[in-house]
Amino acid sequence: MRLAPGWAIRAGLLAVLAAPVYAGAQEIGREAALRLRFPPLEFDPPEPSTHILSNGVRVLHLENRALPLVNIHARFRGGFAHFPRAYYAAATALPSLLRSGGTSALPPDSLDALLERYAISTSVGGGGGSSFVSLNTVSRHLDVALELLGEILKTPRFDLAMVEVWRGQELESVRRRRDDPGRLAFSEFNRLMFGDHPIGWEMEAADLEPADLSREQLEWVYRLVFCPDNLILGVTGDVSWRELSPRLERLVAGWGACAEPLPRPRPPTIRREPGVFLIERPLEQSTVVMAHATDVRQRDDDEFYAARIGNAILGGGGFSSRLTARLRTERGYAYSASSLWTIHVDHEGIVGALTQTRSGTTVAAVRMILGTMEEMTEAPPSRDEVSQVVDQIVSGFVFNFESPTEIVARRMLLMAEGRSEDWLERYLEGIQRVTPADIEEVFRRHLRPEEMVILVLGNTSAMDESLERLGPVTVLEVEGGAGARAATSLPREEQRSPR
């Protein structure tokens, strides 16, 4: 794997990894530094070994004797996106309740006490498509750690008191959502774009009735997700495969197959109709989110790589991006502005932008974002802009492999997605092939500023112009934290006249 010379500087390994060739032995200063040349760096991170247990579970293992620690990662295919809305709460809660809800042999407080006694740390989580449980232990306690992990994964208790604790926390989060302008705007925008699809779902009080978190609901989701058919294991640290193999066989022994095949997530149907939507709030600052559908896919082709680089130039690259330069540096409309371009393997994504600006510059900021997008469709970016983003990605690529745990976690993700083992190398090569003309072409084909769905959360009485100058406005009535809403057209008399 070949990396840019700047990696050596950023990693603090210049003296070791590359010997500069000096233009003159006595030269000093900026010009002398710019004339330094470095040989290409070859970066070869260690590769985990792949094994298959007797029941078919795949294991990635990377031995590392630097510290007497072992990390174990259990990644499961399956999350709330695989289930109907009626199971949204149960599928969302499940990873957390595996850890907090105890096991058939250990009530929650006993499990906590054992994990604390043996200094075993755990983490759990998940998303729409996957769930995980991870564990870190000193190597001398590996047997105890694996025994406890086996109980957590194979015999969960789902203690009703802990279920109620989780439910109460979620209800409080629902109540607080209306008080966070950014979160409210983003959740309502997702609902606008994706409708009744897991991508657009937001937890509501109606999802959190006690029946939605009954033992029957939890156990049904558990039997479809947390089973060996969906599992990939990753182990790193102070243990050889010879030492580890029999221990993992004991971990999975007696673990039954999935109750039935996991339902496939349905692809989203993304909103196609442009429009301007308003959530009225008496605030001094407006939140703006806009996007439309795009069918660029995550695969090994020039269009995908050009979209990644182009998005960074437009607004995904932080303070050096065009949107931030226009809105922050040139006009002072916002502290920051970002673009977004979600690119998936098997379904469409969205491309757009977001910012927060004071009420008196709301419409001007929207116009500037749309104008900056239009620029990207009309002319290629400069070679310097492209080179800067490519160098940032290439130079920072090494930091994806800083530890054995990161290496194995990334390999587990690639394996779960069915990607080839050389995907990361191909990705790096593809990024370096991108030209300004490639970026202009991908924006010309896939970015349509005039088709944006624009959501504004703010105070129309304090805005610089009428939102109707951007198009017909629909008011979204979002009441309380329970998600009740209605859509109405905004009468003209409710809008301010333009200044």
Q: Which tens digit of pLDDT belongs to each residue from 376-429?
A: 999 999 999 999 999 999 888 877 787 899 999 989 998 988 888 888 889 999
pLDDT for 29: 83
pLDDT digits (tens, 9 = 90+) for 236-262: 999 999 999 999 999 999 999 999 999
pLDDT at 308 (0 to 100): 97
Following DSSP, what letter does each residue of 243-275 receive, concatenated? Answer: HHHHHHHHHHTT-PPPSSPPPPPPPP------E
Residue 229, number of CB atoms within 10 A of its CB: 18
Residue whose tokens read 């997700």 = 225
Report CA-CA distances (Å) from 105 to 110, 115, 165, 207, 225: 9, 14, 21, 30, 22
DSSP-derived pairing of the beta strands 285-294 and 453-458: antiparallel
- 282-315 residues labelled b (16+ CB within 10 A) or e (exposed): eeebbbbbbbbbbebbbeeeebbbbbbbbbbbbb
The pLDDT of 331-350, averaged and rounded, is 95
β-partners of residue 293 are: 350
Distance (Å, whole) CA 494 – CA 492: 5
Q: Which of 4-18, 136-150, 402-416 has the lowest mean pLDDT?
A: 4-18
Quote the CA–CA distance of 98 and 152 in Å, as a whole number. Answer: 6
Beta strands in 99-201 (DSSP E): 121-126, 130-138
Higher pLDDT, 257 or 496: 257
CB 372 within 8 A of CB 326: yes
Q: Provide mean pLDDT across the span 104-108.
A: 97
- Give per-residue pLDDT as tens, 80-98: 999 999 999 999 999 999 9
* DSSP assigned state of 90: H
Task: Tell me what percent of the residues of the chain surpass a pLDDT of 70.
Answer: 90
Q: In this predicted structure, what is the pLDDT of residue 125?
A: 92
Q: What is the 3-state secondary structure (H, E, C) of 38-58?
A: CCCEECCCCCCEEEECCCCCE
In the structure, what pLDDT confidence band is assigned to residue 77 with cuts at 50, 70 and 90?
very high
What one-letter code names the amino acid at 293? A
Neighbours of 189 (CB within 10 A): 26
Angle between helices 88-100 and 160-177 (to 10 degrees): 130
What is the sign, positive or negative, of the torsion defined by CA atoms of 288, 293, 294, 299?
Answer: positive
d(CA 313, CA 488): 37
Output the average pLDDT for the chain. Answer: 89
| CATH 3.30.830.10-classified regions of the chain | 49-252, 275-494
Q: Tell me the whole-structure pTM to 2 decimals.
A: 0.85
User: How far is C-alpha 272 from the geometric centre of its chain's CA atoms?
Assistant: 24
Task: Please report the pLDDT score of residue 131 as a whole number.
Answer: 95
Contact 46, 404 (CB under 8 A): yes
Within 10 A of 261 (CB to CB), how many other CB atoms are there? Answer: 8
How confident is the model at residue 54, as a pLDDT? 96
Q: Cα–Cα distances in Å, from 84 out to 91, 206, 265, 342, 348?
A: 10, 14, 10, 24, 21
% of the chain beyond a pLDDT of 90: 77
Distance CA 154, CA 262 (A): 18
Q: Which residues pair with 479 in a beta bridge?
A: 484
Per DSSP, the residues of 326-387 read IIIIIT---S-EEEEE--BSSS-EEEEEEEEEEGGGHHHHHHHHHHHHHHHHHSPPPHHHHH
pLDDT at 496: 33
d(CA 48, CA 233): 12
Mean pLDDT across the stretch 60-87? 96
pLDDT at 5: 37
For residue 290, pLDDT over 50 is answered with yes
Which CATH superfamily hosts domain 275-494? Metalloenzyme, LuxS/M16 peptidase-like (3.30.830.10)
- Domain 49-252 in this protein, CATH class: alpha beta
> In whole angstroms, what separates CA 418 from the centre of its chain?
18
> What pLDDT is attached to residue 34?
81
Label residue 371 by pLDDT band (50, 70, 90).
Answer: very high
Cβ atoms of 328 and 365 closer than 8 Å: no
Characterize the bridge pairing of strands 453-458 and 473-479.
unpaired
Mean pLDDT of 279-287: 97
- Summarize pLDDT for 28-46 with one digit per residue, the tens: 788 888 888 877 766 677 8
pLDDT per residue over 200-223, tens digit each?
999 999 999 999 999 999 999 999
Mean pLDDT of 168-175: 96
Q: Which residue has the higher pLDDT, 324 or 419?
A: 324
